[in-house]
């Protein structure tokens, strides 16, 4: 693995695999705000805004693997730390967020 790789991060390629193969049992969530979700979103990824995570994290399974994405990877790391504090064990932040997804996976997703 590359030396600059953070063990708490996965790539957009990893996220695509998780979305393409439900048998992996990985849930992908988006922690951006609703106005951003209106501009650009990834099909099949539900919105759990970071601002509402304290009210909504109980909807998530603490034993399920979670990949969290935001716009660039900053808020998803905050969400990761928050969920870890709540006892979630298998949480990863998607490096580069939806901007990297747009660059590397799906060019039809708008950048903003």
pLDDT score at 2 = 53
pTM of the model: 0.94
Q: Is 70 part of the annotated catalytic residue set?
A: yes
Give one DSSP letter per residue of 31-99, joined into a string: -S-HHHHHH---TT--B--GGGHHHHGGGS-TTSEEEEE-SSSHHHHHHHHHHHHTT--SEEEETTHHH
- List the catalytic residue out of 18, 53, 68, 70: 70
Identify which of 73, 52, 98 has the alpha carbon closest to the alpha carbon of residue 8: 73
pLDDT score at 29 = 98
State pLDDT tens for residues 69-79: 999 999 999 99
């Amino acid at each position: 693995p590359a030396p600059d790789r953070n063990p708490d991060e996965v790539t957009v390629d990893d996220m695509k695999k998780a979305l393409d193969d439900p048998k992996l049992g990985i849930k992908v969530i988006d922690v951006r705000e609703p106005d951003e979700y209106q501009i650009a979103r990834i099909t099949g990824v539900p919105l759990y805004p970071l601002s509402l995570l304290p009210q909504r994290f109980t909807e998530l399974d603490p034993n399920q693997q979670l990949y969290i994405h935001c716009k660039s990877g900053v808020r998803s790391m905050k969400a990761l730390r928050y969920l870890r504090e709540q006892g979630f064990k298998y949480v990863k932040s998607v490096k580069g967020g939806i901007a990297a997804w747009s660059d590397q996976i799906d060019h039809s997703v708008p950048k903003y």
